Structure 1
Amino acid sequence: MYLIGYDIGSSSIKAALVEAESGKTVAVCQYPDSEMDIISRQSGWAEQQPEVWWDNVRSATQRLLEKTKVKAAAITAIGISYQMHGLVLVDKDHHVLRPSIIWCDSRAVQIGAQAFESIGKSQCLNHLLNSPGNFTASKLKWVKDNEPDLYERIYKALLPGDYIALKMTDQARTSISGLSEGMMWDFKENKLATFLLDHYSIDSDLIPEIVGTVGDQGALTKNAADFLGLAEGTSVAYRAGDQPNNAMSLNVLNPGEIAATGGTSGVVYGVVDRPVVDESTRVNPFAHVNYTQENPSIGVLLCVNGAGIQYSWMKQMLARENTTYEDIERMISSVEVNSDGLRIIPFGNGAERILANENIGAHIINLQFNRHGKAHFYRAALEGIAYSFIYGMEIMKSIGIEVNVIKVGNDNLFQSEVFSTTIANLLGCEIEMLDTTGAVGAAKAAGVGSGIYQSFKEAFQKVSPVKVYESSQSNGVYESGYQSWKKDLEKILA
C-alpha cells in the first residue's frame, strides 16, 4: 500500500511515493528538469499557465511510476502541496479563463493597501490577522477592475492546489487554511471573510465549497486517472499551501517550533497556539494544517521573495555550462566570510512583505573590479539571502516568536554549508536538516486524511535529522557582515 504526494511549485512539479506501512520514501521525481517559465508581461507581474502545471503533474507521475514499478492500484491516497497566494479562475465548465496570477506578482499591492486603510487596520488585524495586502482576494479584485468581461465569466476562484484537486476530482473545493492565505477567512467569526469580499464587491458564490485540509476531498475521476496513469477512485485526502505543508513535513506542528525553506522564495515559518499579529504586517499569520476552532494553531510566515531565484539567476549569468551548485560551493570556499567587502541586496523578485511591500530590486554594493571575481559574487549572493532571513527573523522575535532550533529539508539553499552556517552563527542556534520534502510530507498527510495513520505524530514519528549545522564561537565576523548589509538596506529604504 502506497501514498503519493505532489508539490506544485512555481519552478517544477515534484511527486513522491511513500510506502504506507513503513513510512519510507520509495522515490521522488520532478518535472520539468529546468525551471518552469514565469510570464511577466509588465514590471511586477508574474503569471503561469495552470494547464502546464497539470501536464507536468502527469509527467512527474509517469516518471515516478516508471522508476518504482509500483502498480497504480496499490496507491491508496493522494496529497497536494501547492504554491501559496495564487489565483486560478475557471468557468462553469472548469476551463481556465486566464493565466494564474502567482505568489510573486505585485500588481495588487495598492488595492490591498487601500482596503486596509478603508476597512480599518483594527478590523483587518482582528479578523484577518493581516492586511488584505497583495494576497489572493486583492488579486481577484484586480481582475474585477481591469478585466470586467472576463470577471463576469468566473464560476469559481481557486488557489493553485484547489485547481489541481479540481482536475483530479471534478469538484471545486477549498480549505480554511487555503482561504486564510488568500485573506478570505475571518478568524474572529470563524467563517468566510465576507466583510472583505463585500468591500471588494466580490460575490461570495465565487468561493468554492470549504472542506478540511486533511480528510475526504474527493476521488480521482476516470478521466483524471487515465490522464495521470493512476487508478480511478483513488482518494484525494489532503491539500495545503507549500509553507504550512513544508512545516508539517518537518514535524513542525507545535508552538515554538520553526521550519525554514530556501527555494525560489525563502521562508521561515513558526507555529503559535494563539492569534498574533505584526502591526506592520511584514510577517503573516495563517491557519496551520492542524488548525481547528478548538485548536487554533497558527503558522506565522516570513517570506523573502528574492531568495533562491537570485542564486539561480547568478548561476545562469556567470557559470559555465554544466556547472553544478556543488561546483559553485567549492569555488566559494576560496573566499573569506563577508566576500571581501562585496555585498548583495537580494530583493529583486517583486514586492517584499518584510519591507512593507516595497519593491526595491536587487543591489550590488562595493564592487571592486580588481578584487572581486565570480566566487565573490556567489558567496555574496548566499550571504545576502541569509542576511535577509535574519532581518525577517528579527521581526518575528519582536512579536514574541522564539527561534531556538530551525528544521529544514534536505534540498535547496540549505544544502549549502555557507548559507546554513551563516544563519546558524547569526542566530546562535542549531539548524537540523531532515531527509524529507514537501511532496513526501503531502503523501504522509494523505495517509492521515485517509485513515491509514491516526495522527500527524504517527505519520512523522520516524523523521530525524541527517545533518546539524551549529553556530561557532567566531560569530563576530558574521555579525559585522550582517550589520554592514543592514545599513546598506536601510539607506536604500530611507
Structure 2
Amino acid sequence: MLILGIDIGTSSVKVSVVDACSQKVLSSAHYPDTESPIISLQIGWAEQDPEMWWQQAQEAIKVCNAKGNYNPQDIAAIGIAYQMHGLVLVDRNQHVLRNSIIWCDSRAIEFGDKAFEAIGEERSLSHLLNSPGNFTAAKLAWVKHNEPQVFEQIDKIMLPGDFIAMKLTGEITTTVSALSEGIFYDFKEESLSKDVMRFFGFDDDLIPEVKPLFSNHGGLKADVAAALQLKAGIPVAYKAGDQPNNALSLNVLNPGEVAATAGTSGVIYGVSDQLAYDPQSRVNTFAHVNYNKAQPRMGVLLCINGTGSLNRWAKNLFGANISYTEMNSLAAQAPEGSSGLRILPFGNGAERMLCNKLVGVHLHHIDLNLHQQPHIFRAVQEGIACAFRYGLDIMRSNGMNPTVIRAGKANLFLSDLFAQTFVNVTGVPVELYNNNGSVGAALGAGIGAGMFSSSTEAFRGMEKLQVIEPKPKSKIDEIYEEWKLLLNKQLTAETPM
C-alpha cells in the first residue's frame, strides 16, 4: 500500500508518496519552484491566501504522479503537515472569508496580552501552558475587533492543515494538538478552554469537531479524486503542525528526545511527560502528536522566526546570482567570528523567546574596508546559531537538557559550517537524517490508517546519515557572549527598531 504526505509550508507545498511496506520514498515534489509570497500590508503583518496552498498542493501531487514511479490508484491514505498557528476562516458554504493570518504575524499581541492579564498569569500558564500571546485565538480576537463584518460570517475557524483536509474531504475537523497550538485547550480541564472562549466572546460552535490526531478525518471527495487521479474515499488519516510532524518524522516521541529544524523559522522541539510551562512564555508547550490524557506527551517548542528567511534575504541582497551551495562555500572562506561582524537575526515578526518584542535584524561592527561577501554569509549563519543557543538556554532553565538533537539534513543543516557552528555553540551533538515533512506526514497517515502496528514499525527504516560532535578549540563561546551582549543592549534600548 502507498501513502501520500502533504506539507503546507510558508515557502512552498511539498508532497511525497511512500511505500508503507518498505518506508521508501517513491516520489517527491514541491510547488512552486519559486518561494511563495507573504502579504504584508503593514509592518509586523503576514498573510497568505489559503486557496493558494490548495492550488499548490494539487499541483505538487500532479507533479509526483507525472513521474510515473507508482500507480496513483494504489495510494490508500493521506497525511497532512502544516505551518502552525495560522488562522483560516470559512463561512457555512466553506468559502474562505479573508487571507490567513499566518504564524509570523504580530498584530494580535495586544489582544493576547489582555487575555493573559484578565484570565490571570498563573491560571493561564497552569491551564493553557502558555500566554495567549500572539497565537491563533488572539488573531481571531483581532478579526472580531477590527473586521466585525468578517467575524459575523464565520461558520468555522481552522488551522492551515484543517483547511487542506476540508478541501480534500468536505469535512471540517480538528485535534487536541491543534487546539493547544491555537491556545484554545485547557489541559487541566481536558477540554476547550472556557476562560479563553469567554474572555474573547467566542461561541463554541466556531470550533470544528475534535477527533484523535491519528484517525479518519474524512474520505477523499469524488471530484477531487478524479482531478488528482486518486481513489475516491481514501481517508485523511493524520494532521499535525509542522514542528510536531518534524519530530514524528525523526521518531522523536518519548520524553527527553529532541528535534530541530532550520527552515524559514528555526525550531528546537523537545518531548516531555510534564504539563510544564515557562514563566515568561518564551518557549511554548503544546500537545504532541502522541498526546493522550492517560499518558501525556508534550512538545516544548522554541521558535526563532527569521532563520532561513534571513539566509534568503542575505542571498538575494548579496549573492543573487549564486546558489545556496555556493553561498555556503563562500561563508566557509571567512574566519570563525566573521572578522568581528555580528548579526542579530530577528527580522520576521515578534519573537516569542524575546517576550514578543519586534527586535529586527541588526548588523554590528561593519568595516567597509574589511568585510566582504563571505563575512556577511558566515555572520548570518553564526548569528542564527547564536540565537539557537540563546533559546536552548531558556529551555535548559525549564528542565529540557538534550544530550543529542536529531535534525533532517535539509535547509540550513545542508551547510556543514552552520551544522558545526550549531553544535559548537550549543554543546550538543546533532544526528542528521534524510527526512522531510511530507514524508513524516505520509508515515503519520500510515499510522492513522492502521498500516503500521506502532510508530516503531513506521520508522524502522530510518537511517542516520551523520553525527556531528562539538569541536574543541572553537572560539564560539567568546563570539556568543559578545553576541548576547549586543542583543541585551538592543532589548533594553528605548526604541528597539
Letter of the 1:410 partner, please give it: K
The structural deviation recorded for 1:74 is: 0.3
Q: Give the corresponding residue for 2:318.
A: 318
Letter of the 1:89 partner, please give it: L
Take 1:204 and 1:383, find their aligned partners in 2: how far apart are those partners? 46
1:81 and 1:241 in contact (8 A); partners too: yes
| Mapped pair 1:434 → 2:433 | yes
Q: Give the stretch that moved more between structures: 299-308 or 426-435.
A: 426-435
Take 2:229 and 2:145, find their aligned partners in 1: how far apart are those partners? 41
2:27 and 2:69 in contact (8 A); partners too: no
SS at match of 1:29: strand
Q: Give the corresponding residue for 2:239.
A: 239
* CA displacement 1:42-76 (0-9 Å, x = unmatched): 11100000000000001100111111442221000
Take 1:471 and 1:270, find their aligned partners in 2: how far apart are those partners? 20
1:194 and 1:204 in contact (8 A); partners too: no
Q: Give the corresponding residue for 2:476.
A: 478
* CA displacement 1:442-472 (0-9 Å, x = unmatched): 1011011001101111101221211121111
| Mapped pair 1:337 → 2:315 | no
Instruction: Give the alignment of 1:177-326 within 5 angstroms.
Output: 177-321=177-321, 323-326=322-325
* CA displacement 1:386-445 (0-9 Å, x = unmatched): 100000000000000012101001211111111111111122221100111111011011
Q: Give the corresponding residue for 1:458.
A: 457
Letter of the 1:343 partner, please give it: R
Unmatched segments (≥5 aa) in structure 2: 493-497
2:283 and 2:395 in contact (8 A); partners too: yes
The structural deviation recorded for 1:359 is: 0.3
Unmatched segments (≥5 aa) in structure 1: none
Aligned CA RMSD, in angstroms, stands at 0.8
Letter of the 1:412 partner, please give it: N
The structural deviation recorded for 1:330 is: 1.2
Take 2:154 and 2:463, find their aligned partners in 1: how far apart are those partners? 45
* CA displacement 1:148-171 (0-9 Å, x = unmatched): 011000000000000000001101
Instruction: Give the alignment of 1:48-197 within 5 angstroms.
Output: 48-197=48-197
Letter of the 1:183 partner, please give it: I
* CA displacement 1:119-168 (0-9 Å, x = unmatched): 10011011100000100000000000000011000000000000000001
SS at match of 1:18: strand
SS at match of 1:364: strand
Q: Give the corresponding residue for 1:346.
A: 345
1:409 and 1:436 in contact (8 A); partners too: yes
SS at match of 1:458: helix
Q: Give the corresponding residue for 1:487.
A: 485
Take 1:69 and 1:261, find their aligned partners in 2: how far apart are those partners? 29
Q: Give the corresponding residue for 1:377.
A: 376
Letter of the 2:150 partner, please give it: L
Q: Normalising by the residue count of structure 2, what TM-score does the alignment of the two structures yield? A: 0.98
Take 1:159 and 1:276, find their aligned partners in 2: how far apart are those partners? 24
1:13 and 1:32 in contact (8 A); partners too: yes
Q: Give the stretch that moved more between structures: 158-167 or 20-29.
A: 20-29
Letter of the 1:480 partner, please give it: E
Q: Give the stretch that moved more between structures: 297-306 or 25-34.
A: 25-34
SS at match of 2:67: helix
Identity %: 49
| Mapped pair 1:40 → 2:40 | yes
Q: Normalising by the residue count of structure 1, what TM-score does the alignment of the two structures yield? A: 0.99
Q: Give the corresponding residue for 2:495.
A: none
SS at match of 2:333: coil
The structural deviation recorded for 1:204 is: 1.1
- 1:13 and 1:27, CA in 2 relative to 1: closer, same or farther beyond 3 A? same
* CA displacement 1:253-307 (0-9 Å, x = unmatched): 0111110000100000000011111000000000000000011100000000011
Take 1:160 and 1:194, find their aligned partners in 2: how far apart are those partners? 24
1:26 and 1:68 in contact (8 A); partners too: no
The structural deviation recorded for 1:320 is: 3.7
In the comparison of the two structures, how many residue pairs are matched? Answer: 492
1:225 and 1:232 in contact (8 A); partners too: yes
Letter of the 2:101 partner, please give it: I
SS at match of 2:27: strand
1:218 and 1:235 in contact (8 A); partners too: yes
Letter of the 1:470 partner, please give it: E
SS at match of 2:346: coil
SS at match of 1:378: helix
Take 1:69 and 1:22, find their aligned partners in 2: how far apart are those partners? 15
Q: Give the stretch that moved more between structures: 282-291 or 414-423.
A: 414-423
Take 1:387 and 1:67, find their aligned partners in 2: how far apart are those partners? 41
Take 2:194 and 2:165, find their aligned partners in 1: how far apart are those partners? 24
SS at match of 1:269: strand
Letter of the 1:362 partner, please give it: V
SS at match of 2:29: strand
Letter of the 1:152 partner, please give it: E
1:87 and 1:101 in contact (8 A); partners too: yes
Q: Give the stretch that moved more between structures: 41-50 or 312-321.
A: 312-321
SS at match of 1:333: helix
Q: Give the corresponding residue for 1:394.
A: 393
Letter of the 1:92 partner, please give it: R
1:180 and 1:286 in contact (8 A); partners too: yes
Letter of the 2:120 partner, please give it: G
Take 2:229 and 2:491, find their aligned partners in 1: how far apart are those partners? 51
The structural deviation recorded for 1:29 is: 0.7
SS at match of 1:195: helix
Letter of the 2:485 partner, please give it: K
SS at match of 2:4: strand
The structural deviation recorded for 1:41 is: 0.5
1:57 and 1:228 in contact (8 A); partners too: no
1:177 and 1:287 in contact (8 A); partners too: yes
Q: Give the corresponding residue for 1:468.
A: 467
